[in-house]
A and B are shown apart, each in its own frame.
Chain A
């Protein structure tokens, strides 16, 4: 019976980020979510378990407020969660996150078959954690996977690359990072949410960890991105559409 580990991150929902008139980031009205592609990782793990048995362990590193995300992950089919929490874990770099995940997976889980990660988080989108994690654990990594199967002692995956699809195979245990098109994540129902609150959560603090990874970068500045566009509006009637075409020709982008 495979032991499947799904890593996820509780992140700011970028759809609610605003820009102040001074060009600063306005995070005052944001809500939070499980990072988009991590939902695909959780979903894929849950489907594998539903198909062939085993168990799904969800693991996250974050600030203590991420506890909502832990419950969300458990309502998406995970059996148990490992929640590594500290107020200082809000803006960890990819190498720090990978180091912490690796220690917890190695020391608290130990025997596992497959670790599933999203290809990148929707806040920082470093696309590094899964690959760095595999290096730390000293096991193979299959990245950018759109299709996944477990065979006897091996994982077979389709990677989507710029020049085509690469079907690869690696011995277990291994790490995979999944693309959004691997599945459509479920929307948890009331029953799932209720059963989630009865599932075990192992909470791990900063002091329980042996690693204390250092950041590799300092931030010089962080600002809202600017999109300087003219924002000229046209109606849908024929006169306006002709004006629209005229404007494009004038700008030299249309013959």
Chain B
């Protein structure tokens, strides 16, 4: 049995995948847990402590080569070893690499996998994902192994590592030179609170009439110590807020304790991005808006009337 491979850009994502892999092995899937990494990726000692028995270490990339250039090296090794399952964290690069490797292995790839279950009686790996923008849940099983999955960051809990555990390190050969070259990398500017990590998320939707009115939403986020996010039209069509604040199936998926959607209609793709929120609140003047069916608490009213009252009441009743 050839076990489970994991690949992630960030250490915390790798730890999640290792934990998911450990649960599958404990359920009887068989084999070992193997992590693939590279200089600049998650560190082998962290991967070992989190349960990887072996680390496959890629050599440094040549200058101006994108991370996806590693595809052929990983594919070659996977062809030889034939792991049962390859888990990738579903960042853009992770999704790209997983698709290339799946095609090379002539294997299935479960994209956006949000649950994994090893059925030891039937020897079936059951995988779950969303369809139709999140309106449907599909459970699938691969006909053959290897099989791949991309897992959205934050899907699984990270395990508690054991710093005494060490992985054996095996070096993989360098990939051939990719015809794709990186001309420039512009790192993301970090502004404000990280929405993905925020306990409270205030989300502005189409109900706002002018960009300067977003100050109301920002004000509420600041008052609550939360982060501001938006729906797709605000970032994509109006460009009022950056794309990386856009919540939805094709944007970011958040899991705050409290989500407050203001002037958000509640399209299914957006609702998919807030499935993990503990409490969902909505403020919308249209009582027929779909968001109310997906909210725990809803205020039916014009946001321009509700927000000043809400802010005032919050300030008056704030805990000293």
**Which of A's residues lie within 8 Å of B, judged by CB?**
12, 14-15, 17, 19, 25, 37, 93-95, 98, 119-120, 122-128, 131-132, 135-136, 140-144, 146, 156, 159-171, 179-181, 184, 214-225, 227, 229-238, 240-242, 244-245, 247-248, 251-255
Question: A252 to chain B: which residues have CB within 8 Å?
Answer: 257
B222 at the interface (CB under 8 A from A): no
List residues 205-241 of chain B with CB under 8 A from any CB of chain A.
224, 232, 235-237
Known: A123-B132, A217-B141, A222-B136. 6 other contacts (CB 8 A): A131-B100, A168-B182, A217-B140, A225-B130, A248-B258, A255-B318
Is there contact, CB below 8 Å, between B180 and A169? yes
Is there contact, CB below 8 Å, between A251 and B275? no
* CB-defined A-B contacts under 8 Å, sample of 14: A14-B135, A123-B131, A127-B95, A128-B111, A161-B93, A167-B184, A181-B243, A223-B136, A224-B136, A232-B296, A245-B310, A248-B297, A253-B258, A253-B279
Task: Please give the distance in Å from A46's CB to the nearest CB on chain B.
Answer: 19
Question: A253 to chain B: which residues have CB within 8 Å?
Answer: 200, 257-258, 278-279
Is there contact, CB below 8 Å, between A218 and B268? no
Question: B61 to chain A: which residues have CB within 8 Å?
Answer: none
List residues 66-103 of chain B with CB under 8 A from any CB of chain A.
66, 91-93, 95-96, 99-100, 102-103
Query: Can you name the residue of chain A whose Cβ is closest to the Cβ of B90?
Result: A127
Is there contact, CB below 8 Å, between A234 and B96? no
Is there contact, CB below 8 Å, between B182 and A135? no
- The answer, among A127, A164, A170, for a CB contact under 8 Å with B99, is A127
Task: Please give the distance in Å from A100's CB to the nearest CB on chain B.
Answer: 14
B281 at the interface (CB under 8 A from A): yes
B191 at the interface (CB under 8 A from A): no
Task: Please give the distance in Å from A105's CB to the nearest CB on chain B.
Answer: 15
User: What 1/0 flags go to B229-268 for Cβ under 8 Å of A?
Assistant: 0001001110000010000011000000110000000011
Is there contact, CB below 8 Å, between B133 and A230? no
Query: Can you name the residue of chain A whose Cβ is closest to the Cβ of B314?
Result: A245
> If A230-B296, A245-B310 touch, does A160 touch B92 (CB 8 Å cutoff)?
yes
> If A135-B103, A253-B257 touch, does A233 touch B135 (CB 8 Å cutoff)?
no
Question: B139 to chain A: which residues have CB within 8 Å?
Answer: 219-222
**Which of B's residues lie within 8 Å of A, judged by CB?**
9, 66, 91-93, 95-96, 99-100, 102-104, 106-112, 126-127, 130-144, 147, 178-188, 200, 224, 232, 235-237, 243, 249-250, 257-258, 267-269, 271, 275, 278-281, 287, 292-302, 305-306, 309-310, 313-314, 317-319
> If A17-B136, A94-B109, A218-B141 touch, does A168 touch B66 (CB 8 Å cutoff)?
yes
> If A131-B99, A223-B137 touch, does A164 touch B188 (CB 8 Å cutoff)?
yes
> If A143-B92, A180-B236 touch, does A217 touch B143 (CB 8 Å cutoff)?
yes
CA distance in complex: A16, B110 (Å): 25
CA distance in complex: A25, B138 (Å): 11
Is there contact, CB below 8 Å, between A164 and B132? no
CA distance in complex: A128, B129 (Å): 14
Question: A171 to chain B: which residues have CB within 8 Å?
Answer: 179
Question: B9 to chain A: which residues have CB within 8 Å?
Answer: 162-163
Task: Please give the distance in Å from A203's CB to the nearest CB on chain B.
Answer: 27
Question: A14 to chain B: which residues have CB within 8 Å?
Answer: 132-133, 135, 268-269
Q: What 8 pairs between A and B have smallest CB-CB spacing?
A: A236-B301, A216-B108, A131-B99, A253-B258, A14-B132, A135-B103, A220-B139, A14-B133
> If A125-B112, A227-B275, A236-B306 touch, does A241 touch B313 (CB 8 Å cutoff)?
yes
> If A236-B305, A236-B306, A255-B319 touch, does A170 touch B133 (CB 8 Å cutoff)?
no
Is there contact, CB below 8 Å, between A15 and B267? yes
CA distance in complex: A19, B299 (Å): 24
Query: Can you name the residue of chain A whose Cβ is closest to the Cβ of B95?
Result: A127
Is there contact, CB below 8 Å, between B108 and A231? no
CA distance in complex: A123, B132 (Å): 4
